[in-house]
Structure 1
Amino acid sequence: MKEIIGGNLTRYRKSLRLSQEQLAEIVGMTRQSINNYENAKTLPDSKTLSALARALGVTLDDLLRPESEGLPNFRFRAHASFGNNPQFAAQVLRMLETYNNLEQAVGLPPYTPESSPCHQVEGNEKRIAEIASRFRRCLGLGEAPIFNLFETVEELGLKVLRFPHPIEGFFGLSACSDAQGAFVLIKSHNIKIERQLFTLAHEIGHLICHRNDYQDALIEEGTKEEEKAREKVADYFAGHLLVPQAELERMYQLTTNIIKLKQHFRVGYQVILTRLTEIGIIDYAKEKAKICAAYKKQHGSSLKNSMELPPQLKPEDFPENERYQQLIWQALKLGKISEMKAAELLDLTVEKLRVRRQEAEVYAIS
């Protein structure tokens, strides 16, 4: 246990770019004590361990968990940046563990989309489009635009969380367990709704097409070429899931206006450009250059890749983590979790939780 704690203390401290002296000052102890803990010479008591966890932005469980240990039965779409941010990787594990425990507490069955392995786009275009079409049928959609993909896939039972962590280079990840279902985490910090929706569709593509490539840990493995090919497959799947072929062709006969097309399908303008390029109607680079020139003329500033053409989807039309919050309230009602735990998960005070609970009871149908 001393070795596990020592290794975790070192890893989490270095990720925050703290020296042993700086960490010692924060928690009110000597540098030599920190050195002894990190080198497994001495074992900190519970009070000291709690203080160290708070200073490092993790929990006691995170300090006691072996670095290589994930969650039982879960495999992940790994991400390279987690190697430099172990605190966030630990937080992801906690969120998934909590969501999974809530489902079990209220007796909900796990959900995992059907696996259809595919590792490159070239030569598989029709197959990937059919995989996307099959998943749309599972959602009960046919060719219709998807009003709210978050809500729609959560109704199937997919575990989805949107989380405002500002980690650079990260947009989303997915995890899967044959016994406990599938999970998708979407970054929401300074990310437009259109991009969040595409990320969700992209990760569903990975869950369907690359499940055999998921790993036991959150740190990325494999070659860059393999990963690029998988990313292209997930992008292609996402495009066809959000913008099905027949409906795109029908709408393009009615209007060639990119703004109207993106509004109809409730996606970003770049998704529309990509899909029209795939079916040979436009040249992506030329059309994007025209759009960027028109935007700059109208607004006096450049249209960056991270930006979206107005009008944009409104965040208030896509409330975050509704299913997750409903599970918390349900688990509380069933007596599976305490008021204190429910308040912690909902980021409320216990007093505020009780007020909301009373309000819900007043308006409940008896």
Structure 2
Amino acid sequence: MLTPEIEGKRDARKIRGEMGLGDGPIDVFKIFKEKNISYAKKPLKSNISGMFLRKGNVNFVLINSSKTKGHQNFTAAHELYHILFEEGQTGSVCVAGIFEQKSQSERKADYFAANFLVPAETLELELFKRMGSSKRKPDFPDLLYLEALFGVSHSVMLIRLQQFGVLDEEDILRFKKGIINEAVKYGYDTSLYLPTKEDLIVSDYVEKARILLEDGIISEGKYEELLIEAGFEDVLFGEEVQEYEDC
């Protein structure tokens, strides 16, 4: 029986291959668009990372934007695993990036996300670019470079380097705190390490439903039913937004 770590790595390589993504850094939210996966970012008060919902052919992901930008990217990849590989599941609430959860499903999703966002081959190449054949271990500037390149949180990169055998427990403790100050010191963008607090929905579901209504293919009642079923009540019942001449 394969371990969640091996399955996650295998599945990440499979999807990258099928989509022609190569081994470079990727934007999971662009993949959501290609796969017709609707998503929202909301600043939630709870500690969850996100969740996914499936109803028929509609897939929806919710990302907690109270988490850091890097964590949100990891959560998106985690939820992508559930959607692509767990067709029988209709939904799940997730705390991503723990790796040793009791749930086999959640562990596989974490290992998939880690390998999907940071492939071992690319990580090895980038480490060689930074350090050559020297025996030294990565330091803060190296970590900042890798995290910015792959778009992942500091904690995920530390775990990834530990999985790769580059860092040990003592190193993890040394690097665990102070990443924002280090980013400022070395001139890196700190936004990766901060919550975004975004409140948005990205979906073509509403657009498609509206076109069906305007073309007379569905009734007003069916249009409203479709939006309510998919969780877009705010489109129907939200307040009218003020328009500006220069918008």
TM range (shorter): 0.5 to 0.7
Return the letter of the residue paired with 1:143. D
Partner of 1:144: 24
**Bigger CA radius of gyration:** 1
CA–CA distance in structure 2, aligned partners of residues 311 and 241 of structure 1:
23
- Give the distance between the partners of 1:129 and 1:186, measured in 2 at CA: 23
Structure holding more helix per residue: 1
Kindly indicate whether the alpha-carbon contact (under 8 Å) linking 2:79 and 2:109 is maintained by their aligned counterparts in 1: yes
Q: Is the 8 A contact 2:23 2:119 kept in 1?
A: yes
1:205 pairs, out of 64, 67, 81, with 81
What residue is the counterpart of 1:345 in the other structure? Answer: 235
Counterpart in the other structure of 1:175: 53
Structure 2 residue 143 is the aligned partner of structure 1 residue 258: yes
1:275 and 2:160 aligned: yes
SS of alignment partner, residue 174 of structure 2: helix
Aligned to 1:290: 174
For 1:163, the equivalent position in structure 2 comes to: 42
Instruction: From 187, 212, 219, give the equivalent of 2:64.
Output: 187
State the Cα distance separating 1:226 from its structure 2 match.
8.3
Bigger share in strand: 2
Give the 3 Å change call, closer, same or farther, for CA 219–258 of structure 1 in structure 2.
Answer: closer
Structure 2 counterparts to residues 91-102 of structure 1, below 5 A? none
**What is the CA distance between 1:131 and its match in structure 2?**
0.9
Alpha-carbon deviations, 1:264-323, whole Å to 9, x = none?
11111222222221121211x322221246659979xxxxxxxxx96233888x99433x
Query: TM-score, structure 2 length as denominator?
Result: 0.68
Equivalent pair of 1:136/1:142 in contact (CA under 8 Å): yes
- How do residues 25-174 of structure 1 correspond to structure 2 at under 5 angstroms? 120-121=3-4, 125=6, 127-146=7-26, 148-166=27-45, 168-174=46-52
- Relative to structure 1, the CA distance from residue 261 to residue 346 in structure 2 (aligned partners, 3 Å threshold; closer, same or farther) is farther
Inter-partner Cα distance in structure 2 for 1:248 and 1:163: 31
Which of residues 124, 134, 148 in structure 2 aligns to 1:249? 124
Unaligned runs of at least 5 residues, structure 2: 95-99, 131-137
Q: Which runs of 5+ in 1 are unaligned?
A: 1-117, 300-308, 361-366
SS in 2 for 1:321: strand
Q: Quickly say closer, same or farther: Cα 1:351–1:202, change in 2 above 3 A.
A: closer
